[in-house]
């Protein structure tokens, strides 16, 4: 529900703004019944470099979800790259989608994010970012430990981490990040 409130609020604002036309320079006095909000102009986004071939809108969506969950967008893209090479219909039988979410935990992901279907690319990114954010909190900000847990589960990752071991998965994700930096 936490994610739905801002989204629903934004949709409501867009609906209200699209229904109210205010000529330039006209002053509208608010009344107790009506409050008029004039939106700021929307900046034109800079072109986004993508190796996936996603639409610019979807690339912006990835940025927004990453920001919402306090994740570096290049990290999210690197996880997508390593997990699915950007194939929206990636499915290995157990895991599905861009971020290869385990079907076994689909209900948890969807309940936490308000998503309806983890196979939908937008919902898959939303759920994957939520889970990665949760793992970063669990790992107390230690990104490599969180990535190992994303890939193999928390208990296996912690055992390997405590011996000083870093998996090839972590190395692959960190290397992939260079494709998405500036």
pTM (2 decimals)? Answer: 0.72
What is the sign, positive or negative, of the torsion defined by CA atoms of 143, 151, 75, 72? negative
Q: What is the CA radius of gyration of the chain?
A: 20
Instruction: Encode pLDDT of 130-177 as tens digits.
Output: 999 999 999 999 999 999 999 999 999 999 999 999 999 999 999 999
Q: Which helix (H) or strand (E) holds 47?
A: none
How long is the chain?
A: 182
State both tokens at 55: 């639409």
Q: Which residue has the higher pLDDT, 49 or 26?
A: 49
- For tokens 């790259």, the residue is 81
3-state secondary structure of 106: helix
Q: DSSP string covering 85-117, please? A: TT-TT-B-SSEETTTTEEGGGHHHHHHHHT-S-
What tokens does 175 get?
């290397």
pLDDT band for position 50 (50/70/90)? Answer: low
Where along the chain do its domains lie? 44-177
Q: Domain 44-177: which topology?
A: Lysozyme (1.10.530)
**How many C-alpha atoms does 21 have within 13 Å on its Cβ side?**
1
Measured from the Cβ of residue 108, the count of other Cβ atoms closer than 10 Å reads: 15
Strand 95-96, strand 101-102: pairing: antiparallel
Tokens at 131, concatenated: 């889970």
pLDDT category of residue 8 using cuts at 50, 70 and 90: very low
Can you tell me the distance from the alpha carbon of 175 to that of 171, in angstroms, rounded to the nearest whole number? Answer: 6
- pLDDT tens for 72-95 read 999 999 999 999 999 999 999 999
């Amino acid at each position: 529900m936490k994610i739905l409130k801002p989204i629903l609020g934004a949709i409501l604002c867009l609906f209200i703004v699209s229904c109210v036309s205010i000529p330039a320079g006209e002053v509208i006095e608010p009344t107790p019944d009506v409050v008029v909000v004039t939106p700021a102009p929307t900046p034109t986004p800079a072109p986004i470099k993508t190796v996936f071939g996603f639409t610019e809108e979807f690339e912006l969506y990835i940025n927004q979800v990453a920001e919402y969950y306090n994740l570096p967008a290049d990290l999210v893209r690197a996880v997508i790259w390593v997990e699915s090479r950007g194939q929206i219909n990636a499915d290995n039988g157990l895991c599905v989608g861009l971020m290869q979410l385990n079907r076994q935990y689909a209900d948890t992901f969807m309940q936490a994010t308000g998503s309806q279907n983890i196979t939908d690319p937008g919902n898959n990114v939303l759920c994957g970012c939520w889970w990665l954010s949760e793992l970063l909190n669990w790992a107390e900000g230690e990104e490599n430990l969180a990535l190992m847990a994303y890939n193999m589960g928390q208990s296996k990752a912690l055992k390997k981490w405590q011996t000083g071991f870093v998996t090839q998965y972590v190395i692959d994700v960190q290397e992939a990040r260079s494709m998405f930096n500036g």
